[in-house]
Structure 1
Amino acid sequence: MYYSYHPYYYHHPYWQNNYFPIRQYPPVDPNLLCQSANESKKLMDEAGMVLDKLSESEEFDAELMYAAQDSDIEEVKRLIQSIGVTSDIDIDYNPDGLRLEFTSKVADMECCRLFIALRWR
């Protein structure tokens, strides 16, 4: 007769619960995760607005690139915010492209980030 376990393992002292205690976890509270997911959806909507504008308007893209080329960060921020972005956004650019970092908070605690990196050269 074939046994699916070896009786030695179940009677060996190393397999007793004294040696492998069962970990106790705190109760889960999905509230913050749910709020973070909702805030992330808002960030994605705003990122979508930015991407729509960048993909539809070469004139806007040229203004943005000229402002970046002149190192006019205030104009670059103004242009991005003119699209309707209300979230906190960190804008970084270099000769090769643009990086946008959208962030949001829940109860004064950062809950989520969304990064977009786009090349323009």
Structure 2
Amino acid sequence: MTQLYCYPMCYCPPNSNAARQIHTIPSFAIYPSSIRQYPEVDPTLLEQSAKSMQKLMKEASLVLNKLADSKDFATKVMSAAQQSNKQEVDKLIQSTGIKSKVNTTFSPDGINMKLSSAIGGAECCYLTIALRWL
């Protein structure tokens, strides 16, 4: 916030006490936004993240197709989850052919699968699939 004395250019009535008071106004009212300096954009990481996300979506399709097309596979996943056997659930999900890191969580209502990808050792993107079974 910036303090300014009220002069005739302000909206204070002339010859009023307000004309002699200090008014606090936001800084953006003084400096137009066109003066702000923004760094140059570099879309490299965004492009890499988008490409990684495309791969994650293809892998998500593998998992979803397997669950949708194989009642036996879906039964195995649900049974392992019901027994709180996270290792078996993860193994089953990985058996669909996905290469990405996957973290599964489940509850009596359904399963969540978080597929993630990294660029240069840092997580760049992830895709969460939430499916209900109850």
Q: State the TM bucket, normalised to the shorter chain.
A: 0.7 to 0.9
Gaps in structure 2 of 5+ consecutive residues: 1-8, 11-29
Which residue of the other structure, out of 11, 31, 37, is the alignment partner of 1:20?
A: 31
Alignment partners' CA distance in 1, 2:80 and 2:128: 21
Secondary structure of 1:53's counterpart equals helix
In the superposition, the TM-score normalised over structure 2's length comes to 0.75
Greater length-normalized contact order (CA 8 Å, ≥ 6 residues apart): 1
Q: How many residues align?
A: 106
Name the amino acid aligned to 2:84.
Answer: S
Off by >6 Å, runs of 4+ in structure 1: none
In the superposition, the TM-score normalised over structure 1's length comes to 0.83
Indicate the residue corresponding to 2:101 in structure 1: 88
Correspondences of 1:49-60 after superposition (within 5 Å): 49-60=62-73
Q: Which has the larger radius of gyration?
A: 2
Gaps in structure 1 of 5+ consecutive residues: 1-11, 14-18
Which residue of the other structure, out of 89, 107, 120, is the alignment partner of 2:120?
A: 107
The offset of 1:63, in angstroms, is 0.7
RMSD (Å), alpha carbons: 1.6
Percent of paired sites with the same residue: 49
